[in-house]
Amino acid sequence: MFSAYVENPQNCRFEGQDPDEKILLLLRAHPIVNLAWIIPALLLFFLPFFLPKIFSLLNLNLLALPQTFKIVFLIINYLLILTIAFEGFLHWYFNVYIVTDKNVVDVDFHSILFKNIDVAPLRNIEDTSSSMGGILRSIFHYGDVLIQTAGTSRNIDLESVPRPHHVADFILDEAHKLYGRGDRHADGHPS
């Protein structure tokens, strides 16, 4: 359920899926990218514990502040932490990339009120490429996959996905399987 790379996921559907369409691959950004919101949330969590020391280093008297201000600061601080963690998790969990036997689907979750869904039919995929640059990406083996499509279809970028070289190859192989089926008429002769 929380995995970033799932082949043939069970009990999984998406908006706009055809009844006969089978999900082959479900992808999310690698979990390590969550550090971008986890670290600030942790720093804010521990801030109230270090604030008295910071105030004493600056020669400010924390005891001079009314108790009400301290309580309001704590409430605002922890609500901010909750907001950062909630929004960060939702952004990671609901930004998904789905490869089916017919399409590649990119679901971009921007906020609770807005999402964008891009669909590229496998028959329109011309090429895929993958990139993995940097120390963290090399250590944790994640990167970006660019899917180039034909015609007026938008290119699709799969950002920070695990095993990017495998994913790019997988998508291209599925597109080639479809081309192989699509090049023949019902009587078995080439078109």
46, 61, 90 — which closes off a domain? 90
Statement to judge: residues 147 and 65 lie in one domain: no
Residues 75, 162: one domain? no
Same domain (yes/no): 102, 11? yes
Residues 101 and 86 in one domain: no
76 and 106 inside one domain: no
Residue 131, pLDDT > 60, answer: yes
Same structural domain for residues 71 and 160? no
Task: Read off the pLDDT band of 151 (50, 70, 90).
Answer: confident
- For the stretch 35-85, pLDDT in tens is 999 999 999 999 998 888 887 788 777 777 788 988 999 999 999 999 999
Contact 4, 27 (CB under 8 A): yes
Alpha helices in 27-160 (DSSP H): 35-57, 67-94, 135-140
Structural domains in the chain (count): 2
Domain range for 150 is: 5-29+95-182
Pick the closest to residue 148 from 169, 167, 177, 124 (CA basis): 124
Q: Do 60 and 148 reside in the same domain of the chain? A: no
Residues 115 and 150 in one domain: yes
In-domain check, residue 188: no
Q: Are 118 and 156 in contact (CB under 8 A)?
A: yes
Give the H or E element holding residue 157. strand 156-162
Judge whether 191 lies within some domain.
no
Q: 170 and 105 in one domain?
A: yes
> Are residues 170 and 143 in contact, defined by beta-carbon separation less than 8 angstroms?
no
- Both 85 and 126 in one domain: the answer is no
Query: Does the pTM of the predicted model rise above 0.85?
Result: no
